[in-house]
Structure 1
Amino acid sequence: MSQATLTLSSKNYSSWSLRGWLLCRMAGLDFTEVLVEMDDEARQELLLLSPSVLVPRLTHKTVTVWDTLAIAEYLHEISPKAGLWPKDLAARARCRSVSGEMHSGFHNLRSALPMNLKARHEKFKIFSGARPDVERVKAIWTECLADSGGPWLFGSAPTVADAMYAPICTRFRTYAVDLEPRLAAYAEMVLSWPLLAEWTEGAIAEPDEIVELEVEF
Structure 2
Amino acid sequence: MKLLIGDKNYSSWSMRPWLLLTHFGIPFEEVLILLYEADTNAKVLAQAPRGPGKVPCLIDDAGQAVWESLAIAETLAERFPQHALWPRDAAARAYARSVSAEMHSGFGELRSNMWMNIRASFPGKNAKPGVLADIARIEAIWGDCLQSYGGPFLFGEFSIADAMYAPVAMRFNTWKPALSATTSAYVERLTALPAVSAWIDSARRETHAIPYQDVCP
Q: Same fold (TM over 0.5)?
A: yes
In 2: Cα distance, 1:9 partner to 1:208 partner: 11
Q: 1:7 aligns to what?
A: 4
Q: Which residue of 1 aligns with 2:46?
A: none
What is the 5 A alignment of 1:12-161? 12-38=9-35, 40-42=37-39, 52-62=52-62, 63-155=64-156, 157-161=157-161
Per the alignment, in what secondary structure is the counterpart of residue 197 of structure 1?
A: helix
Q: 1:39 to 1:15 in 2, by over 3 A?
A: closer
| Worse-superposed segment, 135-144 or 114-123 | 114-123
8 Å CA contact 1:91, 1:154 repeated in 2: yes
Normalising by structure 2, report the TM-score: 0.88
RMSD: 1.9
User: Residues of 2 paired with 1:200 and 1:92: CA distance?
Assistant: 28
**Corresponding letter in the other structure for 2:173:** R
- Superposed CA offset, 1:149-192 (max 9, x none): 1110001x101000000110111111112222122111100011
Higher mean C-alpha deviation, range 131-140 or range 22-31: 22-31
Alpha-carbon contact 2:41-2:54 (below 8 Å) kept: no
Q: What is the aligned-residue identity percentage?
A: 42
Deviation at 1:93, TM superposition (A): 0.2
Classify 1:212/1:9 alpha carbon distance in 2 versus 1 (closer, same or farther; 3 Å).
Answer: farther
Counterpart amino acid of 1:167? P
The answer to whether the Cα contact below 8 Å between 2:5 and 2:55 also exists between their aligned partners in 1 is yes
Q: Deviations over 1:24-73 (max 9, x none)?
A: 2234221111111335435799xxxxx53221111111122111111111
Change (3 A) 1:58 1:43: closer
Structure 1 moving runs of 4+ over 4 Å: 42-45
Q: 2:196 and 2:37 mapped to 1: Cα distance?
A: 28
Deviations 1:117-148 (A, max 9, x none): 00123432411222211111001001111110
| Structure-2 change in CA distance of 1:126 and 1:39 (3 Å) | closer
Tell me if structure 2 keeps the 8 A contact 1:118–1:204. yes
1:76 positional shift: 0.8
CA distance in 2, matches of 1:129, 1:39: 27
- Tell me the secondary structure at the aligned position of residue 20 of structure 1: helix
Q: Which whole-Å CA distance do the structure 1 matches of 2:70 and 2:35 have between them?
A: 24
> Counterpart of 1:178?
178
Name the SS for the 1:28 alignment partner.
coil
Q: Is the 8 A contact 1:13 1:212 kept in 2?
A: no
Give the gaps of 5 or more residues in structure 2. 43-50
Q: Indicate conservation of the 8 Å contact 2:5/2:14, yes or no.
A: yes
Cα distance in 2 for residues equivalent to 1:167 and 1:213 = 15
- Further displaced range: 136-145 or 33-42: 33-42
* CA contact 1:9–1:56 (8 Å) conserved in 2: yes
Find the aligned partners of 1:122 and 1:130 in 2 and give their Cα distance: 14
Cα 1:152–1:121, aligned 2, differ >3 Å: closer, same or farther? same
C-alpha displacement of 1:210? 3.6
Q: What TM-score do the two structures reach when normalised by structure 1?
A: 0.88
**Aligned residues of 2:5 and 2:57 also touching (Cα < 8 A):** yes
Work out the CA distance in 2 between the residues paired with 1:70 and 1:82.
17
Check the 8 A contact 1:95/1:154 in 2, yes or no.
yes
